[in-house]
Amino acid sequence: MSYVAKPGGASSTKRAPKPSLLSREGLHIFLARWRHSGFAYVFNILLTVVIALTIWSLISSLITNPGRYLPSPFVVALSSVDVFYKGLLPAYYGNTLTRLVLGSILGLSLGVPFGLLLGLNRTVSDMFYPIMNFFQSVSGIAIFPIIMIWWGNSEKTVFIVILYTCFFPIAFNALSGVRGVPLTYVNAALTLGASPFQVVKDVLLPGAMPNIATGTRLGIGFAWRAVIAGEMLVGREGLGWMIFTARSADLTAQIILGMVTIGVTWIILDHYLLRPFERSTIEKWGLVLR
Amino acid sequence: MSAKLIVQGLTHHYPDEYTGETVHALDAIDLKVEEGELVTVVGPSGCGKSTLLNILAGLLPYEAGAVSVDGVPIRGPGSDRGVVFQEHAILPWRTVTRNIGHGLEIKNVPKHVREPKVQAFVDLVGLTGFEGKYPHELSGGMKQRCAVARTLCADPAIMLMDEPFAAVDAQTRITLQEELNRIAIATKKTIMFITHSVDEAAFLGDRCFVFSARPGKIKTIVDIDIPRERRNWNDMNADSVFLAARARILKLVREEVADVVEE
């Protein structure tokens, strides 16, 4: 005997008539459906953006000489047409993204295995834990001066700093992730006949994934800041450089355009790269609650 | 019948992690488990029954004595001795099917051979329809069914169970006990089952080893001569053999607990 109602069966004829939208219940049903539709989500975000832009425009229209202090969104948009047309923004954007992507990929592919390896042995990981914690707290911008003494105003300097900022949070988090994997999981795999390599692959790596995800998010986030700062300090062509030079030319609209580009890029990165990765791993496995 | 597992003179002392004082966990244990037999081990907390299981699993080294499965001495963990742990031991990042098939995956059994075997064990433990679920989507009882299936699927010579049903609710526990009995009939596995529960020990065991308090020793072996096919909770509650065995085990265990309290 099945309890599932069949279409056209007895239960469907018994269903109450659809309440009118004007009734109290009808309104509640409408609101509940609206809240859970994807449309409401997009609408709310758009609403926030519109409000922010309105406040921005308002302030811009109230101050004297907005062109120098705070150009309106419209003026910023116009300036973007200009830098796009000249090919400046696409070229600089390309430079900056290339640095970020290469630095992050290298940082991940070195940081994760390094952290995992250190985490394998309790004594070794105890020894390295404070050192890794130390380096993940010394920000990229703080090591710039010494790197510049070593390698000068070069592309190498920018790249080393990006790699540094990205590597340590990733390695440190992978290390603490491995330390946190319950011993029972390891024992379970061992009693199924797993080799040390299989334990790493099937137990420690996925078990450390919540921390690796955190480390990745922090590492790439820090790297994104380091790229911009690095370009300014070292003077390499890119988004950071564009903002920096726009200041001396009094191109405030271009500065704001650069800032907006930085922020929007991160949102896109987060939405299309980091979140899907987290959703398909740690959230699907029930290791984090969201 | 031949002895599957032989333990002779097994002694285990270890220094306490904090105080450094010697803890006498096991003292000259001798026991044999016959092929196809299900033995239960009961005893007061800290009597070394979990230590014994960890040694048999190869997860703990032992100091003196001899332990062998099918005549092969135990050195480290191996797939000939499957373990069902107390709880939280199936991997959260693997679905039911991939957890159950993990042992075969480790042995590099090809997918087309693995899949029908895994499905058979999914069906055996009653997880049909939940193949693609992750552990956090399962109830406590289902997780332990999955753990039992995972161990069985790797086809160990002996299955060691460390209080596997201790963390589930009372109703589920009774069901799981009956299901394990059914599985024991179906697979004819040699099983060593460690528990706190006297009911569980008497219901499941062909023989029950009652441990004394620390240092762990086998105090008495209680035979429970009831055919597996007859073992279900409806009948056992009125079965004189079962009731007598349970009363005897309970008395033996309580003597130990009383001793500990008096110290």
Q: B37 in a domain, yes or no?
A: yes
Return the SS3 of B52.
helix
> What is the pLDDT, as a whole number, of residue B123?
92
Q: How many domains does chain B have?
A: 1
Q: B175 in a domain, yes or no?
A: no
Rounded to an integer, what distance in angstroms lies between the CA atom of residue A273 and that of residue A233? 29
Rounded to an integer, what distance in angstroms lies between the CA atom of residue A33 and that of residue B81? 54
Q: B155 in a domain, yes or no?
A: no
- Per DSSP, the residues of chain A read ---SPPTTSHHHHHSPPPPPTTSHHHHHHHHHHHHTSHHHHHHHHHHHHHHHHHHHHHHHHHSS-HHHH---HHHHHHHHHHHHHHTHHHHHHHHHHHHHHHHHHHHHHHHHHHHHHHHHSHHHHHHHHHHHHHHHHS-HHHHHHHHHHHH-SSHHHHHHHHHHHHHHHHHHHHHHHHHTS-HHHHHHHHHTT--HHHHIIIIIHHHTHHHHHHHHHHHHHHHHHHHHHHHHHHT-SSHHHHHHHHHHTT-HHHHHHHHHHHHHHHHHHIIIIIHHHHIIIIITTTSS--
Q: Contact B59/A191, CB-based, under 8 Å?
A: yes
Return the SS3 of B117.
helix
Chain A residues in contact with B103 (beta carbon < 8 A): 192-193
- Judged by a CB distance cut-off of 8 A, whether residue A184 touches chain B is yes
Q: B110 in a domain, yes or no?
A: no
- Chain A window 203-232: which residues touch B at a Cβ cutoff of 8 Å? 203, 206-207, 209
Mean pLDDT of chain B: 88
State the smallest CA–CA distance between residue B51 and chain A in angstroms.
14
State the smallest CA–CA distance between residue B89 and chain A in angstroms.
5
pLDDT digits (tens, 9 = 90+) for B158-191: 999 999 998 888 889 999 999 999 999 998 999 9
> What is the pLDDT, as a whole number, of residue A5?
42
Chain A residues in contact with B151 (beta carbon < 8 A): 191-192
Stretch A42-48: mean pLDDT, rounded?
A: 90
Q: Contact A188/B81, CB-based, under 8 Å?
A: no
> What is the pLDDT, as a whole number, of residue A26?
84
Give the residue numbers spanning the domain of B244.
3-80+207-262
State the smallest CA–CA distance between residue A19 and chain B in angstroms.
35
Rounded to an integer, what distance in angstroms lies between the CA atom of residue B185 and that of residue B207? 16
Rounded to an integer, what distance in angstroms lies between the CA atom of residue B56 and that of residue B69? 9
Q: Contact A193/B91, CB-based, under 8 Å?
A: no
Chain B residues in contact with A187 (beta carbon < 8 A): 57, 59, 77, 83, 85, 89
Q: B150 in a domain, yes or no?
A: no
Rounded to an integer, what distance in angstroms lies between the CA atom of residue B143 and that of residue B145? 5
pLDDT digits (tens, 9 = 90+) for B245-257: 889 989 888 887 7
- What pTM does this model have? 0.84
Stretch B21-43: mean pLDDT, rounded?
A: 88
CATH code, domain carrying B241 = 3.40.50
Q: Tokens in use for B25? A: 């966990």
What is the b/e burial string over B197-216, where b = at least 16 CB atoms within 10 angstroms of the residue's CB? bbbbbbbbbbbbbbbbbbbb
Q: B25 in a domain, yes or no?
A: yes
Q: Contact A192/B137, CB-based, under 8 Å?
A: no
Q: Which residue among A192, A198, A285 sits closest to B154, beta carbon to beta carbon?
A: A192
Q: B95 in a domain, yes or no?
A: no
Q: B100 in a domain, yes or no?
A: no
> What is the pLDDT, as a whole number, of residue A290?
57
Rounded to an integer, what distance in angstroms lies between the CA atom of residue B160 and that of residue A211? 33
- Report ipTM (2 d.p.): 0.90
